[in-house]
Structures are given as structure tokens and as C-alpha cells.
Amino acid sequence: MGGRAPTPGPLGSRGIVADDYEHTAVQQQREAVNDWWFTLDNLSRDDALGLDREDCIDEAMGVDLLMHGVVRPEQLRRCRAEDSGYRQPQALVDFLAGVRCA
């Protein structure tokens, strides 16, 4: 017996809901990194701007980004086994690139 196709929910198809969620998450991350940036003193900003894309961030910066909601704990990845630093989160890389261009 033929049934009717399921009707999309109030937000549309599943893809639209996923896209909305991803857009919201990215926006929240951008706001968090912006908030973090304005808590830094000039020396800390200069240190951040001096990072190359592949440079590690130190433990303190990693924790600071975590505390400001820029990253979640599972998003902080160690640079190398012998290093105590973390890989730069993509949100930080993108933000610093934007600051350098401004």
C-alpha cells in the first residue's frame, strides 16, 4: 500500500537544519574568538599576530581559548609528542588572518 512521503519539519529538510546548526556554531565561535581577543593586552596580541599558520600555541593560550569558548576540550590537539603546545584551532588561524588583513 502506498504511503505518503514524510513531510519536512518546521525548519525544512534535514540538510537545512544541519546547515543552520553549522552556521550558528561558526558564528558563536567567531564571537568567542573576538571576545578573547579584546581581553588580551598589547603584548599578547603581538605574540598572537606573530604566529605562523603552522606554529604551536602555548599551554596558557590553549587554556585561555578553552575558557573563552573558542574551542572545546576535544578540539585542542597537541602539536607534537615532545611539545607541550597545541595546534592552532582553525578559528584562531582564520581570525588572525582577518586581523592581519584589516
Q: Over the stretch 89-102, which tens digit does the pLDDT of each residue have?
A: 999 999 999 999 98
Q: Are 32 and 72 in contact (CB under 8 A)?
A: no
Q: Are strands 86-87 and 56-57 parallel, antiparallel or unpaired?
A: antiparallel
- pTM attached to this predicted model: 0.72
Q: Is the model's pLDDT at 38 over the cut of 80?
A: yes
The chain-wide mean pLDDT, for the chain, equals 82
Q: How far apart are the first and last CA of the chain?
A: 62
Q: How confident is the model at residue 9 (pLDDT cuts 50, 70, 90)?
A: very low
